[in-house]
Structure 1
Amino acid sequence: MKNTARSFNKRDSLRAMRTLLCMLLLAAALMTSLSGCDLLLPSVGGADGTVEFGGRSYTRVDRRSIAPAALGDSVAKTKGEDGKTVLCRVEGDESGQFLASSEHGVLTVWSAVELPESDTLANIAVSYEVCYSDQDEKTVFTCTDKDKVSELLSVLASGEPTALPADDGVTYYLKFSLEGFDGIRYVLGCFYDTETGEAYVYDRDEKKPRSVAHLLDGQLPYSS
Structure 2
Amino acid sequence: GIEKAGEAVKEAEENLASGKPRGLIKLSEVSLAAPIPRTRKNIVCMGLNYAEHVKEGGSDRPLPPHPVFFTKPPTSITGPYDPVVYNRAVERLDYEVELAFVIGNKGKYISKDKALDYVAGYMVFQDISARTLQRQHNQWYRGKSQDTFAPMGPYLVTPDEVGDPQKLDLWCKVNGETRQKANTSDMIFDVKTIISTLSDGITLEVGDVFATGTPSGVGAAHPLGLLKIGDVIETGVEKLGVMRNEVVSEK
TM-score normalized by the length of structure 2: 0.25
Higher relative contact order (CA 8 A, sep 6+): 2
When you count strand as a share of all residues, which structure comes out higher? 1
Larger Rg: 1
